[in-house]
């Protein structure tokens, strides 16, 4: 499994297992399966309501805590310094751990500055090994990276073959921040799994469309967290390190970029109204 080095020297697996939309009832089983087939990074969030399932699976796995990289995120209802500080301790309790390897702010709304100060403090106290943000577009990202004491180690944003985030990735790299993809398979939207360009490339290497799409991200230096509730697909999603896409393959896939979200635009007024309803 590849690792990447964050801007504070912490080593992070480049491929992990995401539990977005995994029900609390299923989460422990799914994370246990993921760990059993080789995943060593698990991505959860307060808003997913399944941190307890992740914690249970890690505790019961028999794998040393030091070998597992845990990621979670503070939700906007817990923004502001005091509330974020309390919520970090609650996430530690639910995950049954003394530290979280990477903690992110989940959205660029509400009092993100106060919440980020809480991340900085928890980092200095050793409760968090690295801190960062999620869904921060270049303007949001440059603002917080320029004005807070600790530059985010990671920015997790929608990134896949149809929304490639090429220019935002360059801006993150100016600050030493790693790009992390949510929705690396676009949740199958835009007919990803039958895309003819990806299928043709996959045929050449004896790989699936999904494996080609994930390998393309890996070769760009993107951190990925594909999700499946099926153990065989979990295996397939990490079986991407025995082939390398050619420059021609990479260029062909680059032509699929639409430059637009398939989910929601964080600069759109209606998107902001939606998130205000989730506080």
pLDDT, one tens digit per residue, over 38-54 is 999 999 999 999 999 99
Q: Mean pLDDT, to the nearest integer, of 243-261?
A: 97
pLDDT at 279: 84
Q: Which of 48, 79, 116, 123 is catalytic?
A: 48
- 115 CA to centre of own chain: 19
For residue 53, the cross-strand partners are none
Mean pLDDT of the chain: 97
- pTM for the model: 0.96
Q: Is the pLDDT of residue 1 over 80?
A: no
203: annotated binding-site residue? no
> Can you tell me the distance from the alpha carbon of 7 to that of 178, in angstroms, rounded to the nearest whole number?
8
Q: Which long-range contacts (CB under 8 A, 24 or more apart) does 254-260 make?
A: 254/164, 254/166, 255/197, 256/161, 256/162, 256/164, 256/195, 256/197, 256/198, 257/161, 257/162, 257/163, 257/164, 257/166, 258/162, 258/163, 259/163, 259/164, 260/162, 260/163
pLDDT bucket at 271, cuts 50 / 70 / 90: very high
Under a CB-based contact definition with an 8 Å cutoff, are residues 75 and 59 in contact? no
Percentage of the chain lying above the pLDDT 70 cut: 100
Active site residue 48: yes
pLDDT in tens, 145-185: 999 999 999 999 999 999 999 999 999 999 999 999 999 99
The pLDDT value recorded for residue 99 is: 98
Say which CATH architecture domain 3-277 belongs to: Alpha-Beta Barrel (3.20)
Q: What is the pLDDT of residue 102?
A: 98
49-74: per-residue pLDDT in tens? 999 999 999 999 999 999 999 999 99
Residues pairing with 212 in the sheet: none
pLDDT tens for 188-243 read: 999 999 999 999 999 999 999 999 999 999 999 999 999 999 999 999 999 999 99
User: Would you give the end-to-end CA distance of the chain in angstroms?
Assistant: 37
CA distance 12 to 262: 27
Q: Tell me the percentage of the chain whose pLDDT exceeds 90.
A: 98
Over residues 19-43, the mean pLDDT reads 96
pLDDT in tens, 128-151: 999 999 999 999 999 999 999 999
């Amino acid at each position: 499994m590849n690792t990447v080095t964050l801007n504070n020297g912490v080593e992070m697996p480049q491929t992990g297992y995401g539990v977005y939309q995994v029900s609390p009832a299923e989460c422990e089983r799914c994370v246990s399966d993921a760990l059993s087939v080789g995943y060593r990074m698990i991505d959860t969030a307060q808003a997913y309501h399944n941190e307890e399932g992740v914690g249970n699976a890690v505790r019961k796995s028999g794998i040393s805590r030091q070998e597992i990289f845990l990621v979670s995120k503070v939700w906007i209802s817990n923004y502001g310094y005091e509330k974020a500080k309390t919520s970090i301790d609650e996430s530690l309790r639910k995950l049954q751990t003394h530290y979280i390897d990477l903690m992110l702010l989940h959205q660029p709304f509400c009092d993100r500055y106060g919440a980020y100060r809480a991340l900085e403090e928890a980092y200095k106290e050793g409760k968090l090994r690295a801190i960062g943000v999620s869904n921060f577009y270049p303007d949001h990202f440059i603002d917080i990276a320029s004005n807070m004491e600790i530059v985010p180690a990671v920015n997790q944003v929608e990134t896949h073959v149809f929304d490639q985030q090429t220019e935002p990735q360059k801006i993150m790299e100016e600050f030493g921040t790693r790009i992390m993809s949510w929705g690396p398979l676009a949740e199958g939207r835009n007919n990803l799994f039958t895309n003819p360009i990806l299928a043709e490339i996959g045929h050449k290497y004896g790989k699936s469309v999904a494996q080609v799409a994930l390998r393309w991200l890996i070769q760009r230096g993107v951190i990925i967290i594909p999700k499946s509730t099926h153990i065989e697909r979990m295996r397939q999603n990490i079986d991407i390190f025995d082939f390398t896409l050619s420059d021609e393959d990479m260029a062909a896939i680059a032509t699929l970029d639409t430059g637009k979200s398939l989910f929601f635009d964080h600069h759109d007024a209606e998107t902001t109204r939606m998130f205000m309803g989730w506080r």
